[in-house]
């Protein structure tokens, strides 16, 4: 089955897995999805991910992270730029979710970066999603 928006599919799978308190979730593998998983891992929202070869494009097995008492680390994942309406932001216009406690994930010419890293690199790009 063809998926029109793999980024939204990945975020929905993660959102549903967190709601069900799953330890892992399987998503489709693509360069952008791996970039998003890298940013989530670097910012401490997930423990990590593994690439599983299946003979086609592969799968990502994302290991979710929870607090010491079992509380969720990911509260709100929101897809900003969609296939029908792309959202681009310059470095000055990048949002600061929760006044800097959350992150925004941006696809730039230097790869998929968090909003903090994009500000230090002084690059803007397509605002993929925000995480609070």
Q: Which domains does the chain have, with CATH numbers?
A: 6-131 (3.30.1490.10)
Integer distance in angstroms from the first to the last C-alpha of the chain? 31
Average pLDDT (34-45) is 97
| Residue 2 pLDDT exceeds 80 | no
Rounded distance between C-alpha atoms, residue 127 and residue 46, angstroms: 20
Half-sphere exposure of 102 (CA within 13 A, CB side): 17
Considering the entire predicted model, what is its pTM? 0.94
Q: For the segment 94-128, what is each residue's pLDDT rounded down to a tens digit?
A: 999 999 999 999 999 999 999 999 999 999 999 99
| Residue 1 pLDDT exceeds 80 | no
| Residue 87 pLDDT exceeds 90 | yes
Average pLDDT (11-34) is 96
């Amino acid at each position: 089955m063809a998926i029109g928006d793999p980024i939204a599919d990945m975020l929905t799978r993660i959102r549903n897995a967190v709601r069900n308190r799953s330890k892992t979730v399987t998503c489709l593998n693509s360069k952008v999805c791996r970039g998003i998983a890298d940013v989530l891992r670097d910012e401490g929202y997930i423990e990590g991910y593994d690439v599983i070869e299946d003979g086609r494009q592969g799968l990502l097995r994302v290991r979710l992270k929870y607090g010491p008492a079992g509380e969720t680390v990911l509260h709100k994942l929101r897809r900003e730029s969609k296939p029908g309406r792309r959202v681009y932001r310059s470095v000055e216009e990048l949002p600061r979710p929760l006044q800097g406690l959350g992150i925004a994930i941006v696809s730039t010419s230097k790869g998929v970066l968090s909003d903090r890293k994009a500000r230090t690199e002084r690059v803007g790009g397509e605002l993929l999603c925000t995480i609070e």
